[in-house]
A and B are shown apart, each in its own frame.
Chain A
């Protein structure tokens, strides 16, 4: 069985790499999260989530990320439908939505919203020109939601677009032949078939939005602390790795829940953006 030997030889660099840099580091988070400074077992770092300031940070993060996820879904679905019905080269599209913006630094792109949103910024000048009331959302939770939607919208568009492209047009035609109108076809055929994409999009927006600390830093005027900000501060300012790890473990509960939901609805990985 020379082939088998060759195969394990080929697999070994990656297996070793992922044990060293994926699995062991995660175990370290659990170790730090479950011990105190003297290395004794404790649950204090985890129950610390119930401290008022931590609960507040977690609930704001949950609220803002849920709102952003819903907005992303509402914006992305029609776009994905339009794009899926368009003829032409889909590669170009993915590059334009997904890859090209990334070549402009993500922090700068987010910061640019400050310029756009400012009192006398471009957006307000346009609104003034249209005789609409000025938008004063910079340094408020609304600006954070905008930043989240802006940064993560492509992650919602792509998976939905991918599943919509895979729907057999004959299924849609059959529904119409059988007398369903456009609305019924959408509700009975397109929407149910696109659920894997929707679920995968929701995870891909919700997880980074829930855990972000930069968007709140850059657009929230660093007054609004999300759970991501708290963890970042514990690690890089307070140097309390135990507390930081404990809070990360709480965060991971939400991540694991969304992973499980994705796995249930998207068994064949159809909806994955890649």
Chain B
């Protein structure tokens, strides 16, 4: 009995979390332009999506930002995590504290603080300012997911590689890096997702004429969201879902780092 109740509870929470997503998928097939009315089933929006230059441009920007910011953040963050891990206690406390600032601070404060910085140094607001901001809020995710892996690392393996004559750099790439890989990968994935879904910080650091999907959607809220946007989100969501299902079907690898 309690078991059934538990399952019902889990199911209800999942319905709560996924109801809006289901709604958006349904809306993407809605022939009526209005959100509130069902006008019959159509694939029209999927066809029109690829003709819509503004949405395609926003999509390109979003993906470009997510790829660049997550890769750069992963490189800086991984190197930083290794360095911070080797620091003395004080250094570690200070830099982990700094790392936690963007994580714990309100996004609106991070957004306006970066906006004030870019205004003060006279930077033109556009793609570059958004990219710098995304890298900034992505680095902590990488550091925080690489750090636990570093702590589990057995230093003797690296020393053994050196003893066996491997040059330090080779020893690092052959011995240390594979051990860190799951942490680095989950940091990268986290950073990519965060960049993709970000609205608030982009809102404050973007310039006129440059839009990501989030800011484009925000500008359409008053006029009404174009149904093509639902079609695009459904496509993105379904492809990620399929990707996840495929990944889960491949044989399990060893203990993965939890995000």
Interface residues, chain A, CB within 8 Å of chain B? 7-8, 10-11, 13-15, 17-18, 20-26, 28-29, 32, 75, 78-79, 82-83, 89-92, 94-116, 118, 120-122, 150, 153-154, 162, 203, 207-208, 210-214, 217-218, 228, 231-232, 235-236, 241, 244-245, 248, 251-252, 255, 258-259, 262, 272, 274
With contact pairs A100-B244, A214-B200, A255-B106 given, residues A110 and B20 touching in the complex (Cβ less than 8 Å): yes
A sample of 20 inter-chain contacts (CB < 8 A) reads A11-B95, A13-B76, A14-B77, A17-B135, A21-B117, A21-B135, A22-B101, A26-B101, A28-B117, A29-B109, A99-B190, A103-B197, A105-B214, A105-B233, A106-B197, A118-B36, A211-B106, A241-B119, A244-B112, A255-B104
Give chain B's interface secondary structure class.
helix
- Say yes or no: is B57 at the interface (Cβ < 8 Å to chain A): no
Tell whether, in the assembled complex, residue A14 and residue B108 are in contact, meaning their CB atoms are under 8 Å apart: no
Interface residues, chain B, CB within 8 Å of chain A? 6, 9-10, 13-14, 16-21, 23-24, 27, 35-36, 76-77, 79-80, 82-84, 86-87, 95, 98-99, 101-102, 104-110, 112-117, 119-120, 132-133, 135-136, 139, 141, 143-145, 189-190, 193-194, 196-197, 199-200, 203-204, 213-214, 217-218, 221, 225, 229-230, 233, 236-237, 240-241, 244, 248, 252, 256, 258-259
For B106, give its contact among A25, A78, A120, A207 (CB under 8 Å).
A207
Give chain A's interface secondary structure class.
helix
Tell whether, in the assembled complex, residue A107 and residue B199 are in contact, meaning their CB atoms are under 8 Å apart: yes
Tell whether, in the assembled complex, residue A228 and residue B244 are in contact, meaning their CB atoms are under 8 Å apart: no
Q: What are the residues of chain B within 8 A of A114 when measuring CB–CB? A: 35
Tell whether, in the assembled complex, residue B10 and residue A83 are in contact, meaning their CB atoms are under 8 Å apart: yes
Q: What are the residues of chain B within 8 A of A115 when measuring CB–CB? A: 23, 27, 35-36
For A10, give its contact among B83, B110, B190 (CB under 8 Å).
B83
B36 CB, nearest partner CB in chain A, Å:
6
Q: What are the residues of chain A within 8 A of B197 when measuring CB–CB? A: 102-103, 105-106
Q: What are the residues of chain B within 8 A of A208 when measuring CB–CB? A: 106-107
For A18, give its contact among B10, B17, B99, B218 (CB under 8 Å).
B99
For A251, give its contact among B35, B83, B109 (CB under 8 Å).
B109
With contact pairs A21-B136, A102-B196, A248-B108 given, residues A82 and B9 touching in the complex (Cβ less than 8 Å): yes
